[in-house]
Structure 1
Amino acid sequence: MSIFKNKKLITIVKYFVPLIILIIIFFEARNFFTHFNWSLLDHYLDRLSLFNILFIILLGLIALVPMFFYDVILTRLLNIKISTKKLIGYSLSANAYSNLIGFGGVAGATLRTIYYRPYIKDSTPYIKIIAKLSLFYLCGLSILSWFVLFTSNGLFSELRLAHIAAWGIALYAPILLIVFFFKRKLWDLSNVKRDFITELMMISVFEWLFVVICIWGIVNIMGFTISLIAVFPIVILGACAGIVSMLPGGIGSFDLVILLGFEAQGIPGELGLLVLMFYRACYYIIPALLGTPFALNALWGKLKPDRFI
C-alpha cells in the first residue's frame, strides 16, 4: 500500500511541479515581453549572412562532440566492437533526442539499448548499465554550478528562482557520488571501475562548457560583443532551471533565465530571443533531424523480423 502511495505522490509531483513552473514562466515572460520591439528581430536577421548562419549550425554540431565520448566509454565498458562511423551516427541520434525530449535522458538511453543490443554476445546487463551510468551525465552541470554559486552573486538578484535551482543541481553530484561509493551493492555495478565514473564526469563538464561556448559564439556572431566569462553563469543558471523544471529541453524556464540574464548584461531582449532561436535550431532540431535516419534504420531493423513471421 505504501508503495502505491509513493508512486502516486511521485506522479503528482511529476505533473504538478512543471505546471507551477509554467505558470511562473507565463507571468514572468508577460512582464518581460511588455516592451518588446518585434520589428527589431528583422533588423538583427538582416545583419546575418549565409556564412554566419552556417557557422552557427556548425557551432551547434561541435557542441555535441563531448557527448560522443559517452558512447565511446559505453562501448569499452560493454566490450563492443563497432566502426567509428556507425558509432558517430548512433551517438548523434541518441544525444540529439536525449537533448530534445529530455525526461532525464530516457530517449537517449532507450535508443542506446536498441543500438547496442545486437553487439552484446553474453549475459552482460547492458540495459541496467546504460540506465545507471546515464545518471552521471548531469554531474558536469552540478560541478560547474558550484563555481557559479560562489562567483556570480550579482546575478542572483535578477534570477532568484534560478539560484535555488542551481543549489539543487549543485548538490546532485556529491549525493550521487556518496550513494555510488558507499552503496555499491544497491547499484550492482561491481564491474564498473571508478576510472569510468571519473571519465563520465569529465565528459559531462566539457559537454556543458561546449554549450556555454556555443551560446557565447552565437551572441558574438549576432553582433553583440560579450565575454565568455559573462555568458558562463547565465547559461549554467539557465540550464539548472531547465533541468529542475522537468520540461522537455528545459523549454521556457531555460529561455526565460537566459533572456533575463542577457538583459542584465545589456543585451537587448530582441537579440536574446533570436540567439535562443538559433541555439534551439542548431543544438536541438538540426542534430535531431540528422540523427533521425540512424534511429529509423535501427528501429526498422528491430521491427522488420516481426513483420514477416
Structure 2
Amino acid sequence: MFKQKTIITLAKLLVPLFILLFVMLEAKGIFTDFNWALLELYVDRLTVRRIFFILLLGLAALFPMYFYDEILQRLFRIRVPKKKLLFYSLSANAFSNFIGLGGVAGATLRSYFYKDYLTGSTPYIKIIAKLSLFYLTGLSILSWVVLFTDLHLYDDVKLIKLAVWAVAAYTPLLLGVYFFKSSFWNTKHIKKGFAGELLTVSLLEWLFIIICIWGIARALEVSIPFFVLFPIVIISACAGIASMIPGGIGSFDFVFLIGLESQGVPSELGLLILMFYRLSYYIVPVFIGTPFIMNQFWNNGMPKNSFKM
C-alpha cells in the first residue's frame, strides 16, 4: 500500500512537470521560428491595443468548440459546472490544436476530465473518440464551396486539387458510415439526431478560424476582403491536413503565402499574419489551459468536488 501511494505521489509530481516541459519545448520551437526582424520592420503597426485584440481573436476562435462539450454532456446525461466545463473545453481544444495527431490529444483529455462523472459501464472513451471524427466535417463542407471556383489560384502547386477533393469527400463518407453502418456506432448513447449539431459546430469552428485570420490581417493593416481570404484559408487547411503535420505547419504556411502573394500581399506581411495566428490560436490557449490540466491531474483520485472554481 505504501509503495502504491509513493508511485501515485511521484506520478502526480512528474506528469505535470512533463506536460509543462513539453509545452515549453514546443512553444520554444515555434518562437524560434518567429522572424523577429520582421516584427521590427512592421513595429509601427503593432500597438498594444492591436496585439491585445489579436490575442482575443485567437481565444474567440476556440469558442465554437465549447459546444462539443455541451453535446457530450447531453450524451453522457451529466451536468458539469459551466465554468469548469469552459476550462475542460479550452484545455482539450487547445492541446488538440497544438499537438495535432488528428484530435487524439483532445479526446484523451476529455476522457480524463469526464471519467469521474460517469459510471463504469459508460463507454466514454469510445463515444468521445467517435464523435471526434466530426471535427473535420466543417472544413470538408467549406471545401465544396471553393472546389469548383477558386483552385485556379494554385495551378502551379501540384496535387493541391487532390488534397481539397480528399478533404471534401470526408463528410459524405463519414455520413454514409454514420447513417448506414449502424454496427460502427454500436452504442445506445449516440443518437443520429446529434449529427446535425456536430456538423454545425464544426462549420462554425472553421468559419471562426477564417474570421480570426482575417481579423489579424485587418489589425496589421493588410487590406484583403474576407471572401478573397476565405478560399485561401480553406485550401491551405486542406493542404495542411493532407500533409499529416500537427497543426498543418509547413504545408499550410506554404500554400497560404502563395495565395496571399497572388492577391498582391507581400510575403513578409503574410508571414507576420501567420506568426500572430500561431501565437493567438495555438500558444496562448495552451498556456492558459496548462495550469488547469496540471491542477486536475494533481487532484486525480480525490473526490470530484475537491476542485473548486
Q: For residue 38 of structure 1, report the CA deviation from its aligned partner.
A: 8.5
User: The residue matched to 1:279 in structure 2 has which SS?
Assistant: helix
1:191 Cα deviation (Å)? 3.1
The one-letter amino acid of 2:112's match is: I
Q: Which residue of 2 aligns with 1:294?
A: 292
Counterpart Cα distance in 2 of 1:113 and 1:186: 20
Contact 2:111–2:125 at 8 Å: present in 1 too? yes
Alignment deviations for residues 233-281 of structure 1 (CA, whole Å, 9 cap, x no partner): 1111111111111111111111111111111111100000011000000
Partner residue, 1:275: 273
Tell me how far 1:40 sits from its aligned partner: 5.3
SS at 1:302's partner residue?
coil
Query: What pairs up with 1:84-103 in 2 under 5 angstroms?
Result: 84-103=82-101
String of CA shifts for 1:266-306, please: whole Å, max 9, x gaps. 1100000011000000000000110111211222223789x
Q: Give the structure 1 partner of residue 155 of structure 2.
A: 157
Q: Which residue of 1 aligns with 2:8?
A: none
User: Post-superposition shift, 1:159?
Assistant: 3.8
Separation in 2, partners of 1:187, 1:297: 34
Maintained 8 Å contact 1:92/1:287:
yes
Letter in 2 for 1:243: I
Counterpart-to-counterpart distance in 1, 2:244 and 2:299: 32
Worse-superposed segment, 49-58 or 150-159? 150-159
1:59-86 Cα shifts (integer Å, max 9, x gaps): 1011001000001100111111111000
- Per-residue CA deviations over 1:81-131 (Å, capped at 9, x if unaligned) read 111000000000000000010111000000000000000035111110000
Moved over 6 A (4+): none
Structure 2 unpaired stretches of 5+: 1-34, 304-309
Q: Which residue of 2 aligns with 1:110?
A: 108
What fraction of aligned residue pairs are identical, expressed as a percent? 58
Query: 2:31: which partner in 1?
Result: none
Query: In the TM superposition, what is the alpha-carbon distance from 1:39 to its structure 2 partner?
Result: 5.5
Aligned residue number for residue 52 of structure 1: 50
Which residue of 132, 135, 138 corresponds with 2:133?
Answer: 135
Q: How does 1:230-309 map to 2 (within 5 A)?
A: 230-302=228-300
8 Å CA contact retained: 1:141, 1:236: yes
- TM-score normalised per structure 1: 0.83
Paired letter, 2:122: T
Alignment equivalent of 1:61, drawn from 43, 59, 62: 59
Counterpart of 1:15 in structure 2 is: none
Partner letter of residue 145 of structure 1? S
Check whether the contact 1:41–1:271 (CA below 8 A) recurs between aligned residues: no
Pairwise mapping of residues 175-186 of structure 1 onto structure 2 (< 5 A)? 175-186=173-184
**Amino acid corresponding to residue 288 of structure 1 in structure 2:** V
> Taking structure 1 as reference, are residues 190 and 92 closer, same or farther at Cα in structure 2, changes over 3 Å only?
same
Aligned to 1:179, the other structure's residue is in SS state: helix
1:296 & 1:45 partners in 2: Cα distance? Answer: 36
Once residues 38 and 95 of structure 2 are traced to their aligned partners in structure 1, the CA distance between those partners, rounded to angstroms, is 32
How far off its partner does 1:41 sit? 4.3
Compare 233-242 and 182-191 and name the one that shifted more: 182-191
Gaps of 5+ in 1: 1-36
Match of 1:221 among 219, 222, 233: 219
- In structure 2, what is the Cα distance between the partners aligned to 1:275 and 1:161? 25
Looking at structure 1, the residues matched to 151 and 143 of structure 2 have their Cα atoms a distance apart, in angstroms, of 12
- Paired with 1:38 and 1:270, the residues of 2 have a C-alpha distance of 11
Question: Which residue number in structure 1 is paired with residue 202 of structure 2?
Answer: 204
Instruction: Tell me by how many angstroms 1:140 deviates.
Output: 0.5
Task: Tell me the TM-score normalized by structure 2.
Answer: 0.83
**What is the distance in 2 between the residues matched to 1:81 and 1:38?**
46
- String of CA shifts for 1:146-185, please: whole Å, max 9, x gaps: 1010221331314443322111100011111111111111
* C-alpha separation in 1, matches of 2:119 and 2:159: 48
